[in-house]
A and B are shown apart, each in its own frame.
Chain A
Amino acid sequence: MIEFQDVAHDYGGGALFEGVTIALEPGSFHFLTGPSGAGKSTFLKLCYGELLPSRGTVTLQGTSLRQMSRDALAEMRNSIGVVHQDCQFLDHLDIRSNVALPLSTTGRAVSDRDVDDLLNWVGLRAQADALPPTLSGGERQRAALARAVIAAPRVLLADEPTGNLDWEMSQRLLSLMVELNRMGTAVLIATHDMNLIRTAKSQVAARVLRIAGRKLQSAGSDL
């Protein structure tokens, strides 16, 4: 689904990481850890084509990022749900419209009921008509997750999705991601939250990756 072949990415004159070869298969569940600045967010951006690798090849659904047209990349992104660390929204539209964007901007039908159900699941039903700037950090993360999953993506990429959430809400969102994974969605979560990883590993066969010393390593079963 997403393949890295001997990928390196340079940043500020030096290599952030190099020699990365990995495949995110359909239905897989990965966590990505590593110290701050190691390149976790960059790795995620390479996964959905916001960045191009300095060297090597990133392949999405069998097509190299470098050979992909802008339209093809847009279509690809519609099947990849992304939760950013900074959770950007269209601030002049309410949360309901923002969550529906992956459907409405690609001409697909939007069911208000489905959107409300999803908002209810992430605990934002009451904020459906609110504007994004009025939401707290945690609420924005939940709204971003709702937006990422509404189009039933084949891949879900999340960058610190529970960073601003309490433990109960973190568990709730993790359950949602595990549920999606059981339905075949490949999930990759970049996080520092070891408790989250341990909890997830008790529910799903998750693999833990770690970026350290410019290399992507498998963290094994010690977590």
Chain B
Amino acid sequence: MSAISDQIVPRSGHGAWLVWLGAAAMAYLAVFALALSISAERLADNWTAALAQSATVRISAPPAELDAQTNATLEVLRTTPGIDEARVMSAQEQADLLAVWLGPDLPLDALPLPRMLEVFETAEGPDRQGLRLRLSAEAPSAIYDDHTQWRRPLIDAASRLRALSMLALALIGGVTGAIIALAASAALASNAQVIRVLRLVGARDRFIAHAFVRRMTRRAALGATIGTALGMLSVLGLPSLGPDATNGLGFQGLSWIAPLAVPVLAALVAWAAAMATAFAVLRGVT
């Protein structure tokens, strides 16, 4: 039956190109939206990991008390559960940090810089409220900063970027469905005689619908496969961000498998849209 089902719909018609090209274009865009979504998620993970288990302590004490408060702070940190390691940053490390903002020729000796301690937390982390209370008692000028005020907006931004890319994917799926539905409707309308003859000889709606839907689905899958391949090549050709490319747009490692789902999803969307359209049209034919 599938042999005749493949033949009963004439092969001509502009709808074929509409489906093919539409699916290819949508798949191409879907690959980019997917790359954006995966990159945003990776970016959020990277930022979270980079900032989550680190903190700094800033000690802005008078020069006479600076060493004493530094030692007291180190002692507090050493005896606090949830602190893995703490160390005083060197003058060069502080200069490197400030050079980004103030330039490399910074006269550090002439500036009243606070002393900076780099702190590494364990996975569980310390009781930050308790730690701050102990620091205020032992080293009143020490301020513990776990980067929360920086981390949250970054993660929020990455999450929003990811949500927007998912919305883009949903829109692409919807537009693909609309294109297929339009093409299916046009194909059914231009083959009114075919449908009438088939109903006359006793063909069921399911048989007639499948004949149209199968062809639409194949065209959509083929177009989406080509669009996906082109999209993946384009993503591959994006300029590299150098050694720290993990924050760049694109797929990495196993995430290259993700776009391979695009043709499958396109075929599913095409099948569903064409099937719904076909049955809606056929209900109007006696």
Contacts and interface: CB of A to CB of B under 8 A. Distances in A.
Q: Do A and B bind each other?
A: yes
Interface of A: 48-51, 70-71, 74-79, 82, 84, 88-93, 97, 101-102, 104-107, 147, 151
Give the interface SS of chain B, mostly helix, strand, loop or mixed: helix
Interface in B194-213: 194, 196-207
A92 B207 CA distance: 18
Listed residue (A48, A75, A78, A90) with the most chain B CB atoms within 10 angstroms of its CB: A90
Given A88-B196, A89-B197, A78 B4 contact: no
A161 B71 CA distance: 111
A78 B201 contact: yes
B286 interface: yes
B202 A104 contact: no
A15 to B, nearest CB: 21
Contact of A107 (B1, B193, B201, B282): B1
B205 A101 contact: no
B206 to A, nearest CB: 8
B197 A49 contact: no
Nearest to A82: B200
A105 B198 contact: yes
A34 B286 CA distance: 26
B8 A93 contact: yes
A151 B201 CA distance: 10
Contacts, number: 71
Contact of B201 (A51, A93, A105): A105
A74 B8 contact: no
Contacts of B81: none
Contacts of B10: 91-92
Contacts of B4: 97, 101, 104-105
B201 A102 contact: yes
B204 A90 contact: no
B149 interface: no
Interface in B257-286: 282-283, 286
Which 8 A-B pairs give the minimum distances between C-beta atoms? Answer: A78-B202, A105-B203, A104-B4, A77-B202, A102-B201, A92-B10, A74-B204, A107-B1
A77 B199 CA distance: 8
A106 B7 contact: no
B25 to A, nearest CB: 29
Given A71-B205, A78-B202, A102-B202, A97 B7 contact: yes
Contacts of B202: 74-79, 102, 105-106, 151
A104 B283 CA distance: 22
15 contacts: A71-B206, A76-B202, A78-B201, A79-B202, A88-B193, A88-B196, A90-B8, A97-B7, A101-B4, A101-B198, A105-B1, A105-B198, A105-B203, A106-B203, A147-B201
